Amino acid sequence: MGYLKQLGEKKWRIVYDAPPSDGRRRRQKTETLFPVTKAQAKLILAKREETVAIGKFVTDDVTVSTLFERFIQAKKVAQRAPKTIERYGTLYAAYIGPRFGEMTLSKLKQHHLTDAYASWLSKGKGGRALSARSVRHIHDLLRTMLNYGLRKGLVHHNVATLVAEDLPKAKKPEPVALTEEQLKKLLASSWEPTDWARKHGVVSAQSWFAPAVWFAAYTGARRGETLALRWRDLDLEAKTATIRHSLTETKAGGVQFKEPKNGKHRTIVLSRSLVEVLRKHRTEQQEDRAVFKAAYKDDDLVFAAPDGSPVLPWSFTASFRYLVDRAKVPYIRLHDLRDTHASLLGKHGVPLEVISKRLGHATIGITAERYLHVYKERDAEAAAVFEQLAS
């Protein structure tokens, strides 16, 4: 009969009968597990005893390569986003696989990871050093893989948790935002014909573009959330939009609709001017429907190509890049419209929890950390006001 003993915070020792090494009598096996809770330790102990009972004792002598294959398969079964699976595969193929792929889990030690991280930071791959942020991404994948192995009984402990203090400090990028005047200039320019349109004597080949830019700027919605918006998600009378899906590209070049980033739907109140833009856009889209007739691909998308088909995310990004250049405003990415939305609201005193809800952050802490600089400015204003009141 096996038992467990606590050695420290999230550190447990389990003892159980193992298959005999000499073929005659059973022996006791001791393992130290970390970082695990008591419930997790009990579950691992039960799995060990079960494998012994059915004669399939599992050791951690599988390779890192085998662990990754099982880990990825589990993620596919769990229907993780294709982009996430693709990113895992890229990191493994470029760094983890060549360095550790043939190593067995029982031989993978803390110093192997720290040596690899130091090498990648100084030389990277092909002589190009990696950023601290990239190294931390690789570490996070290794840690997640080993946690999966721990839960499945493929490894006794997660060595990646031992190197947390040795990880390089990754500098988080500062939010980039336009001023009010710059944003107004950008939005006004979004209606102007592109150089291509002027050259061909047409108003625009992308009637969806300007309304999509306005929606992203006025709501703080992500690129994929904007492109996945359907008319049934809008209530223009009540002036609301509900973010229910996000659109992403697949490796095959198509698109896929999925849940928003944190898996939660959210409803955003729309301004009067944005509602007017959307009403005008709906009328123009109905004209496109009349032209294409039965050939119109009716997915009820608000921002769609003239034939109703989804707009590819890269196309939105490329068109926005040209818009920034055309409008002659400081360079920002499409994603920076979220930072612009949040920063301008914060500077005008909108509560942090309201901004967090509009952006769809999982917790208010994420919003506070990212836009702390805005609220420091507001805090300085508050101090000045109180100075006047108290003096």
Domains of the chain: 3-53 (no CATH), 64-166 (1.10.150.130), 180-378 (1.10.443.10)
Band of residue 33 on the pLDDT scale cut at 50, 70, 90: confident
Residue 81 in this model has a pLDDT that exceeds 60: yes
Residue 58 in this model has a pLDDT that exceeds 80: no
Q: CB of 144 within 8 A of CB of 158? A: no
Q: CB of 182 within 8 A of CB of 330? A: yes
Mean pLDDT in residue range 113-135:
87
- The reported pLDDT for the residue numbered 263 is 79
Q: CB of 190 within 8 A of CB of 206? A: no
- The reported pLDDT for the residue numbered 23 is 47
Return the minimum-mean-pLDDT range out of 16-25, 86-95, 152-161, 182-191: 16-25
304/311 Cα distance (integer angstroms):
5
Band of residue 68 on the pLDDT scale cut at 50, 70, 90: very high
Cα 100 → chain centroid: 26
Band of residue 320 on the pLDDT scale cut at 50, 70, 90: very high
CB atoms within 10 A of CB 376: 10
Q: Which two tokens stand for residue 180?
A: 């009010």
Per-residue model confidence as pLDDT tens digits over 145-189: 999 988 887 887 889 988 877 787 777 777 889 999 999 999 999
Return the minimum-mean-pLDDT range out of 169-178, 264-273, 283-292: 169-178
- The reported pLDDT for the residue numbered 24 is 52
- The reported pLDDT for the residue numbered 53 is 62
Q: What rounded mean pLDDT belongs to the chain?
A: 85
Return the minimum-mean-pLDDT range out of 25-29, 35-39, 308-312, 333-337: 25-29
- The reported pLDDT for the residue numbered 332 is 95
Band of residue 209 on the pLDDT scale cut at 50, 70, 90: very high
Per-residue model confidence as pLDDT tens digits over 341-365: 999 998 888 988 999 999 999 888 8
Return the minimum-mean-pLDDT range out of 55-69, 222-236, 358-372: 55-69
pTM, rounded to two decimals = 0.67
Percent of the chain with pLDDT over 90: 46
- DSSP per position, 152-205: TTS-S--GGGGGGGGSPPPPPPPP----HHHHHHHHHHTTSPPHHHHHTT-S-S
Return the minimum-mean-pLDDT range out of 44-48, 68-72, 311-315: 44-48
Residue 129: partners with Cβ closer than 8 Å, 6 or more residues away: 120, 121, 122, 123
Q: Check residues 62 and 21 and name the one with the higher pLDDT.
A: 62
